[in-house]
Structure 1
């Protein structure tokens, strides 16, 4: 009897107070909606007071747990925020934690509570109350007793919400025991939805990356059309935040800082972290560091971080502002950016370089293998979509260099030069590598990669200052005309190499000049030794070999000269060394011929580097392997991205194993 009286009394009390809880729920909904808008987050916000029926049912089930249910229950009022992605869930959770008093013992992350072999009801639950001293609440009419109310806030993705609605209310709130097979089925569905949530997040991340590099994948004509369209869209509604940000992204790509500043300044009152970040960038790009406008840009960047502490790009921009003036401060910004987004190439590569410079050591790099792997994946994804070029190639090159995967580093830097549209892109990369000079002993290929970039900036962009410095270096004497013979060193396994040897010896019968090759007795390198022996008066043959030959390799003593390059294995270092020698003798690449037969990765680099410099490249297609691959790779032998022709790139010629074709090619 006493129990029934207790229940009736509690129900009566709740009925009296429920109007207050309804008003409190509406207030919380209004506060949450305003918070989300301020943080540029979009979601569904719901709030309600517990129904009398639900309260009554809970009293019957769990009334014995509460001495005073009205005071002790934490879910008499509830709110729910439903968002598109897991990343948005994390952002909203931070907003809640920053703006409300959290009852830690009553709040929980359902995902964190799951065992390693479990799937289930996934969402974040907070029991909160209002903070009296929260400046955000200024302007809201809040009765004093509302500060003592609690409310349960659930933060979910759309998929988490779907599972909760369809399964949780049925399975966990029913008055019956759920059969095991149905329970297992619900867990399987939850597991699929959890995977799908992660897949959605990956897709969203890739789309954001794509949008942020909006102009990078457009040709000049497409970009001009898009700018024209967005100008009209902007003029139709200059306060539409989405349109303004999209327009600003395009303007950033063409470095129109004036227009960026103009359009973004008009929407600063919308308190968007993206607006503050992009406006800060534009001001810092346009004005000198000593100016008031530059400092204003710095302040906007800091404000962007205040609004969104997880904006890794804002930290990166601030790092860039301090990189030359205060490397320690820049390092702190890059470190924070990398912690927020371990796959952000700009953050990770700058952090690595500055930390290496600070420590004068590479010892810590191996500890960041997971971060480097994520960054490589991000860069490769950018390359796949042809965005953030050439930087994605340069970033990959640096990461491979630091990890000791030097062949991949050379190939990536070569591609970076290939996709650079202006000289400053290559020069900036050289400046970054210069910061690693203190650890040059640990990076034996560093100076060779610097030579690669220097040669690229001189001969692709005709950079006069670099050319003057470069041509002042001492060099091995080489006389034109020059033919490079490159490719396979597999004498015993390459089909047709014997025929190639016969044809090339016949083709060189009237040639007078220099022949450059690998300097050993193997494969095509040995054929050059044969040429020297056959035509001693007509030819000067120069071999480029590593200082320490790998096991099984032998110097071909028939060569006129052997030039030893520091190192203990064959690599692109020898290729860069012979091109450096050729160019230091003032021989223009367009007057150099390269004949390629088959070959592996180093030969592939050799063929592509010659193509990039504008040399005449003839490859024996029937020899297969890398010769055929380069011939079939349209990206290298015809065009850059968006079908844009590369004026420096000569058309590769497909040769047959024929004396006449080879002879005509070298005499052309």
Structure 2
């Protein structure tokens, strides 16, 4: 009986695998677009088609459960890994809204987690495209195609991968003492998942509040990535200097989070600790900042196409370190903010001093 069931399904698979492969690609791209449109940033999306050997094993283990390929709901599988636990539900709501769910084969396995059960379980949906999409030419040939979508946080995924690698399929298979260790670790991971979400929420709350603090009491606002980003985005002085700088370079301005993070370290290196420290030095050195930037871009054979908003702060730091007229100090400044070749570091340190001396001599 098992052999009779096996051959027709595999023959069907061989005939339809091309369509399923295209369906996998289409649904992966669709989910990426839907997440982008809804401003949901996830860690990763992976998609796969079940290979023939894996399908053969599944059918063999099913004890005659399957008689046709369309009864097997995971020929196409997608895994969405979120950064935070609560984003699992956000992605789930999007999937429920944009796809037709196979309720019978979909399950929120998190609801099945026993209080003493070790490990993390995931949210699984079996979906197909809704009629509104199937009516479009690009999706019309995927009528009847289903996909299994698995959604879990990055910590849940970490647990599941390690647990899978150990090869134990149930808690009864784990020795009792080791099972206790699994349970303790599962609890720690669950707490970590919740705490990361709280930290994220606290950072967002701080970012919303810090702008008002900058306006009211800039001398009390310490320089960190959130406060610096808020200051750069709202400071008329920064905007004025940035625009003068790009008038010489011809570059476009774009916000760059990595640049802002790097600038926090540079500003602290220069002895600036609060937002008011930045504002004071920018006002004091406006002329030198712009003049040095002008010299830099006029000397470059190939100017940059894009610069980060807040580029004037980089030139402020260059002015401050060069004003010491200490080559060793400038070297330490350059060395602390790059992974350049030593020869390039030396050249940059020399250039910072050179452009500064040229600017003050004008």
Both structures adopt the same fold (TM-score exceeding 0.5): yes
Structure 1 equivalent of residue 187 of structure 2: 191
Q: Distance in 1 between matches of 2:58 and 2:67?
A: 14
Quote the RMSD (CA, aligned, Å).
3.4
1:220 has 2:218 as partner? yes
Spell out the pairing of 1:66-145 with structure 2 (5 A cutoff): 66-68=66-68, 70-133=69-132, 141-142=138-139, 144-145=140-141
Which TM-score applies when normalising by structure 2? 0.57
Structure 2 equivalent of residue 51 of structure 1: 51
Using the TM superposition, give the Cα deviation of residue 212 of structure 1 relative to its aligned residue in structure 2, in angstroms.
Answer: 1.8
Q: Distance in 1 between matches of 2:169 and 2:53?
A: 14
Structure 2 equivalent of residue 19 of structure 1: 18
How many residue pairs match? The answer is 238
**196 and 231 in structure 1: CA distance in 2 versus 1, 3 angstrom threshold:** farther
Using the TM superposition, give the Cα deviation of residue 202 of structure 1 relative to its aligned residue in structure 2, in angstroms.
Answer: 0.8
CA contact (8 A) 2:118 2:182 kept: no
Q: Distance in 1 between matches of 2:190 and 2:26?
A: 32
1:204 has 2:200 as partner? yes
CA contact (8 A) 1:167 1:186 kept: no
Structure 2 equivalent of residue 38 of structure 1: 37
Using the TM superposition, give the Cα deviation of residue 54 of structure 1 relative to its aligned residue in structure 2, in angstroms.
Answer: 1.4
CA contact (8 A) 2:46 2:80 kept: yes
Q: Distance in 1 between matches of 2:87 and 2:183?
A: 24
**11 and 138 in structure 1: CA distance in 2 versus 1, 3 angstrom threshold:** closer
The alignment partner of 1:36 has SS state of helix
**233 and 117 in structure 1: CA distance in 2 versus 1, 3 angstrom threshold:** farther
Using the TM superposition, give the Cα deviation of residue 241 of structure 1 relative to its aligned residue in structure 2, in angstroms.
Answer: 9.9
Counterpart pick for 1:178 among 157, 173, 180: 173
Q: Distance in 1 between matches of 2:175 and 2:59?
A: 28
Using the TM superposition, give the Cα deviation of residue 86 of structure 1 relative to its aligned residue in structure 2, in angstroms.
Answer: 1.6
CA contact (8 A) 2:2 2:64 kept: no
Q: Distance in 2 between matches of 1:99 and 1:200?
A: 28
CA contact (8 A) 2:118 2:179 kept: no
Using the TM superposition, give the Cα deviation of residue 31 of structure 1 relative to its aligned residue in structure 2, in angstroms.
Answer: 0.4
Using the TM superposition, give the Cα deviation of residue 149 of structure 1 relative to its aligned residue in structure 2, in angstroms.
Answer: 0.9
Q: Which structure has the larger Rg over C-alpha atoms? A: 1
CA contact (8 A) 2:211 2:231 kept: no
The alignment partner of 1:133 has SS state of helix
Q: Distance in 2 between matches of 1:38 and 1:225?
A: 28
The alignment partner of 1:64 has SS state of coil
CA contact (8 A) 1:101 1:128 kept: yes
The alignment partner of 2:212 has SS state of coil
The alignment partner of 1:154 has SS state of strand
Counterpart pick for 1:147 among 143, 150, 156: 143
The structure with the greater share of residues assigned to helix is 2
Q: Distance in 1 between matches of 2:252 and 2:96?
A: 35
**Structure 1: which 5+ residue stretches go unaligned?**
244-668
Q: Distance in 2 between matches of 1:78 and 1:233?
A: 48
Structure 1 equivalent of residue 319 of structure 2: none
CA contact (8 A) 2:123 2:150 kept: yes
Q: Distance in 2 between matches of 1:149 and 1:168?
A: 28
Using the TM superposition, give the Cα deviation of residue 170 of structure 1 relative to its aligned residue in structure 2, in angstroms.
Answer: 4.5
**185 and 55 in structure 1: CA distance in 2 versus 1, 3 angstrom threshold:** farther
Using the TM superposition, give the Cα deviation of residue 140 of structure 1 relative to its aligned residue in structure 2, in angstroms.
Answer: 7.4
Q: Distance in 2 between matches of 1:88 and 1:59?
A: 34
Which TM-score applies when normalising by structure 1? 0.32
Structure 2 equivalent of residue 62 of structure 1: 62
Q: Distance in 1 between matches of 2:151 and 2:59?
A: 26
Using the TM superposition, give the Cα deviation of residue 173 of structure 1 relative to its aligned residue in structure 2, in angstroms.
Answer: 5.9
The alignment partner of 2:105 has SS state of coil
CA contact (8 A) 2:85 2:197 kept: yes
Q: Distance in 2 between matches of 1:233 and 1:90?
A: 41
Using the TM superposition, give the Cα deviation of residue 115 of structure 1 relative to its aligned residue in structure 2, in angstroms.
Answer: 2.3
**82 and 13 in structure 1: CA distance in 2 versus 1, 3 angstrom threshold:** same
Using the TM superposition, give the Cα deviation of residue 207 of structure 1 relative to its aligned residue in structure 2, in angstroms.
Answer: 0.9
Q: Distance in 2 between matches of 1:225 and 1:171?
A: 52
Q: Distance in 1 between matches of 2:151 and 2:76?
A: 15
Spell out the pairing of 1:375-524 with structure 2 (5 A cutoff): none
